[in-house]
Amino acid sequence: MPPHFQLDEDNDVIHDAEAFSLATESAYQAAYSPLRLYLRQLVVDKVKRENPKLAAIQHRYRSPELDRLFVFSGMLGNHSFFMIALPFLHTFGMGAFARGLTFVVLWSIYFSGFVKDYISAPRPASPPVVQITRSPAHTLEYGFPSTHTTYAVATIVYISHFMLNVWHISTVWVGLMWICGVTIVVGRIYCGLHSFIDVVGGIVIGIIEALCFVFFFDRLDALMLSTAGPLYSIAIFYFAMSSIPRSLDP
């Protein structure tokens, strides 16, 4: 039977996250390697222990105003936002910066999705946590790591590098950008869509990814713009897509 959504009086999604897994623990044990099972269990146990803390945070701080703030901030870190925003950077002729940021966003999707499928850990269970989202289908996805957090951290680290070292923009504007980023990250916990471990995982992946692009993008960009660049791109993306781990849930 396909999963269904239950909504509370505020139209917030309520469900037991584990109920959306179509695979049993015995199926995971039969299909996953010992290392993959070990890492998955570490994250699953951590998420379960954090559920009461997340519920307590919502009980203490939740308000209609914060609901609207964090739902809106979540929209700044999803696929649709970047699909709309990135083409404008290329249209306005921002060259290497636009290409670099596009790579950062694309690989944020890839790396966070890769780890999500490899770990296969559920999101926080609801109840006790209330999941506040405009896209209930997102609650069907695995939780670790937070893709929104990976997006936010990776893009802001990369943009900060350009603002401080290339464009020499005031640190005030950099600080305001980081405030927006923190709002996105905190919102994932406030909205009950991710646990603390999910957010920490997204932060780590985002920082590592962004620093790699900061230090190596000039060489990568020159390679992609070379005559053989399209062939390199095809080879890289074929290898990346064929390497995505297979999960037991759809």
Active site residues: 148, 194
Ordered alpha helix ranges (H), 120-249: 147-165, 171-190, 196-224, 229-242
User: To which residue do tokens 């999604």 refer?
Assistant: 13
Return the amino acid letter for 61.
Y
Q: How far is the C-alpha of 47 from the C-alpha of 129, rounded, in Å?
A: 12
User: To which residue do tokens 């999705």 refer?
Assistant: 113
**DSSP letter for each residue of 122-139:** PPPPEEEEEE--S-GGGG
Q: How far is the C-alpha of 134 from the C-alpha of 230, rounded, in Å?
A: 38
Q: How far is the C-alpha of 67 from the C-alpha of 70, rounded, in Å?
A: 6
Half-sphere exposure of 16 (CA within 13 A, CB side): 4
Cβ pair 158, 96 in contact under 8 A = no
Closest CA to 143 of 110, 166, 119: 119
End-to-end CA distance of the chain: 13
Question: In the structure encoding, which two tokens stand for residue 71, read together?
Answer: 């739902």
Return the amino acid letter for 26.
S
